[in-house]
Amino acid sequence: MSKGHFTPRKLVTIGNVVPELHYGPFSRGWWYYSDSQIQDSHIYAIPIRLGFQVALKLNQKHFIIRIVRNLENPNTPDFICEGEEIDSGVLSSSSAAINTIYECIFGNKNKTKYPGATMLGFHDPYIIQQMLSNVDFHPFMICLYNVKILIMCISDNKNYEGFASSFTYKYKQKQSVIWQKIERGIFSISIFQKGEMVKQF
């Protein structure tokens, strides 16, 4: 990527943290782990906020990238890039959205490729701080027996009320999301495949 072709992005809309998305069974796809540090030298999970928008200039052309929710697959974030009165359509990655429309405008002979996370500002300290504003809990990951478990909520009382976590594992030979939570004093395990719950304990 040529720095001469890229003008730093401008934050248009910060978007929203949606509890059912960012703290639910499929929350893994709604957080980004940046390798950039902010003021206190810690690295946090950054929420991929629904409705987030940035404007940027690539090769003297103006573009806007938006984070949206695809009605056909509402459990994961999708992306749209718009510029020169055309758009990329709804795509599953920010890189695909940016590079699709860039190719439409400048032609497929142009070999320039832009990394989506960088274009969104997920390595920019200012944008990271804005994305983290009003985030009450930062999910974190632990590894147990080679399984990466995402902790979505930690209880502040003795009965662990509110605790929630998720991890991916195979159930009946199919890749599944395992969702564990404690609610109203009851511990439950829900198993999801392709976005649908197939078993609950």
Domain boundaries, the chain: 3-131, 140-200
Identify the pLDDT of residue 42: 55
User: Considering the entire predicted model, what is its pTM?
Assistant: 0.83
52 close to 9: Cβ distance less than 8 angstroms: no
Identify the pLDDT of residue 4: 43
Q: With CA atoms as reference, report the closest residue to 52 among 35, 36, 32.
A: 32
Over 90: is that where the pLDDT of 141 sits?
Answer: no
Average pLDDT for residues 14-30, to the nearest whole number? Answer: 94
Average pLDDT for residues 15-42, to the nearest whole number? Answer: 80
CATH architecture, domain 3-131: 2-Layer Sandwich (3.30)
Over 70: is that where the pLDDT of 66 sits?
Answer: yes
Q: With CA atoms as reference, report the closest residue to 33 among 167, 178, 163, 140.
A: 140
Percent of the chain with pLDDT over 90: 50
Cα–Cα distance measured from residue 87 to residue 98, given in angstroms and rounded to the nearest whole number:
9
Q: Please tell me whether residue 100 adopts helix, strand or coil conformation.
A: helix
For residue range 155-192, list pLDDT tens digits in order. 777 777 889 999 999 999 999 999 999 988 889 999 99
86-87 β-sheet, strand order:
6-13, 53-58, 61-69, 77-83, 86-87
**Beta bridge partner(s), residue 45:** 33
Cα–Cα distance measured from residue 32 to residue 187, given in angstroms and rounded to the nearest whole number:
28
CA 64 to chain centre: 17
191 close to 164: Cβ distance less than 8 angstroms: no
